[in-house]
């Protein structure tokens, strides 16, 4: 295999290279394993590397020779899974070392789909305990090892940003795919609630959890969605909706596309670098023929409290059995505290939160009658140094959790599809993300807009690993 920066090649490019015989799955997998061994000691993105990775790669090559061609665009490509996705051949910890916390050795629905597509399941990436805690796992941001990668899919984002894998799966309850995508300079999409099966993913909050991929490019995310999307009767939230070819609209012009900008909440309290990068991105889209429409949603002032109540109560309910048996006493202190907080959310508060959620859904429905997508910053700030508990953003102090979730949570509450795509860098060279949200089950338009932004901005900078 030619050593031509294969670690930075897109998923699509790798698939084409395998199809043309430029390299084998064994060569590709070994190259990425060598890179992980060399660099992941400082980044710590992986918690487990599959002992069966090379065996899977050999089997992939054998099948390809026997068939005389590739199975599909993901055939033979090494991928990673967040450590809350169950797998038959790798342990799952959900980021917890607590005694008595055990998960089945069986494939999640997403793992099954990736295997069926011919992927090599290379390993599991680190996450916060139960994808929930406020204490970060020992994962570093590849752009600056002293900074966080974002959570809770930080290991997945870091593994893609570092060139370890072209695709890693994450999960998103309040922003946990898009936050690390923004901080690490990758693409990350949270599809419509019910678009991808959650079977075999350790729950966090049943009405907010969304699986989603993190990739290097928008087209790679669309290719992956073609594999993952679809109805699964085992997941009661999964919707039996037609699955289009998500790559079909990629490359289309932005001319005539109606882009919504919500001036309050999303655009009124960000760092100057974030504000400038997002404003410039919107201007570039407008110069390419898109039409910008401005809105305000005053109700968003109550949304963060609403999602906290829903998330805490439902997460607390999931962990109730471990409270009853005493297993939760071995959780990290931050997670134990969150479990106890969840048990204190009253039925009245929970119902009020659900009312806010319903009203927000109506507000966004009204907006999407007038626009095709909504564009916002993904995060109000870039990745911060490890150990911070509070941040000052545009002159106001807030907790790191509030800062992380503030711009991403509305699309978990409403279940709308939302993607983060890189749109620039701050003065210290840290990535900035642009968030693009769309109508329910209209990921195609989201991809179309995100691909256009990606090409307009043409950001090709990569982190330099020691």
Question: Annotated catalytic residue: which of 45, 50, 82, 156?
Answer: 82
In whole angstroms, give the CA distance from residue 11 to residue 333: 39
- 152 labelled catalytic: yes
In whole angstroms, give the CA distance from residue 163 to residue 158: 9
In whole angstroms, give the CA distance from residue 275 to residue 376: 10
- 176 labelled catalytic: yes
CA angle 333/336/339 to nearest 5° reads 155
Q: Which two tokens stand for residue 341?
A: 């907080």
In whole angstroms, give the CA distance from residue 191 to residue 443: 7
Give the residue among 243, 170, 200, 214 at the shortest CA–CA distance from 419: 214
Question: Annotated catalytic residue: which of 25, 152, 156, 315?
Answer: 152
C-alpha dihedral sign at 165, 382, 423, 379:
positive
In whole angstroms, give the CA distance from residue 269 to residue 284: 22
Question: Annotated catalytic residue: which of 176, 182, 281, 328?
Answer: 176
Q: Which two tokens stand for residue 130?
A: 């139960």
Give the residue among 5, 120, 103 at the shortest CA–CA distance from 63: 120
Could you tell me the CA-to-CA distances from 317 to 116, 321, 330, 343, 355 in Å, in that order?
Answer: 34, 8, 17, 7, 20
- 124 labelled catalytic: no
Residue with tokens 């966080």: 148
Segment (H or E) for 377: strand 373-377
In whole angstroms, give the CA distance from residue 440 to residue 418: 10
Residue with tokens 């019910």: 194
Residue count (the chain): 466
In whole angstroms, give the CA distance from residue 93 to residue 66: 37
CB 191 within 8 A of CB 437: no
DSSP class of residue 350 equals H
CB 138 within 8 A of CB 126: yes
Burial 146-157 (b: 16+ CB within 10 A, else e): ebbbbbbbbbbb
Give the residue among 457, 184, 151 at the shortest CA–CA distance from 334: 151
Burial 358-367 (b: 16+ CB within 10 A, else e): eebeebbeeb
Residues 6+ apart with CB under 8 A from 154: 45, 126, 127, 128, 136, 137, 139, 148, 180, 183, 184
As annotated, the active-site residues are 82, 152, 176
């Amino acid at each position: 295999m030619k050593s031509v920066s294969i670690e930075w090649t897109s998923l699509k490019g790798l698939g084409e290279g395998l199809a043309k015989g430029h390299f084998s799955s064994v060569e590709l997998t070994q190259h990425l394993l060598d890179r992980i061994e060399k660099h992941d000691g400082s980044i710590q993105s992986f918690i487990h590397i599959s002992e069966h990775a090379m065996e899977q790669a050999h089997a992939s090559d054998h099948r390809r020779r026997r068939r005389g061609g590739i199975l599909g665009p993901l055939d033979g490509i090494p991928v990673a899974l967040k450590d809350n996705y169950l797998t038959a051949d790798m342990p799952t910890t959900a980021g917890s070392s607590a005694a008595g916390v055990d998960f089945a050795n069986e494939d999640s629905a997403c793992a099954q789909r990736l295997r069926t597509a011919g992927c090599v399941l290379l390993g599991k990436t680190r996450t916060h305990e139960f994808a929930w805690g406020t204490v970060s796992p020992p994962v570093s941001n590849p752009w600056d090892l002293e900074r966080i990668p974002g959570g809770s899919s930080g290991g997945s984002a870091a593994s893609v940003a570092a060139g370890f894998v072209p695709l890693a799966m994450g999960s998103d309850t309040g922003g946990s795919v898009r936050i690390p995508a923004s901080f690490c300079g990758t693409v990350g999409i949270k599809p419509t609630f019910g678009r991808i099966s959650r079977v075999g993913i350790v729950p966090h909050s049943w009405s907010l959890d969304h699986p989603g991929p993190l990739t290097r490019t928008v087209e790679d995310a669309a290719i992956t969605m073609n594999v993952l999307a679809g109805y699964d009767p085992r997941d009661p939230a999964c919707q039996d909706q037609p699955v289009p070819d998500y790559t079909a609209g990629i490359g289309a012009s932005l001319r005539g596309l109606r882009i919504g900008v919500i001036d309050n909440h999303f655009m009124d309290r960000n760092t100057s670098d974030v504000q400038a990068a997002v404003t410039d991105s919107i201007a570039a889209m407008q110069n390419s023929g898109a039409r910008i429409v401005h809105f305000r949603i005053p109700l968003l002032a109550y949304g963060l409290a609403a999602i906290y109540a829903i998330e805490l109560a439902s997460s607390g309910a999931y962990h109730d059995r471990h409270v009853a048996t005493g297993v939760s006493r071995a959780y990290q202190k931050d997670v134990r505290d969150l479990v106890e907080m969840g048990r204190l959310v009253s039925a009245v508060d929970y119902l009020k939160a659900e009312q806010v959620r319903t009203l927000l859904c109506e507000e966004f429905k009204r907006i999407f009658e007038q626009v095709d997508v909504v564009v916002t910053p993904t995060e109000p700030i870039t990745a911060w140094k490890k150990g911070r508990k509070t941040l000052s953003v545009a002159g106001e102090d807030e907790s790191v959790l509030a800062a992380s979730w503030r711009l991403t949570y509305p699309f978990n509450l409403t279940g709308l599809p939302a993607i983060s795509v890189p749109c620039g860098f701050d003065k210290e060279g840290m990535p900035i993300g642009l968030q693009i949200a769309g109508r329910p089950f209209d990921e195609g338009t989201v991809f179309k807009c995100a691909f256009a932004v990606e090409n307009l901005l043409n950001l090709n900078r990569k982190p330099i690993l020691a």
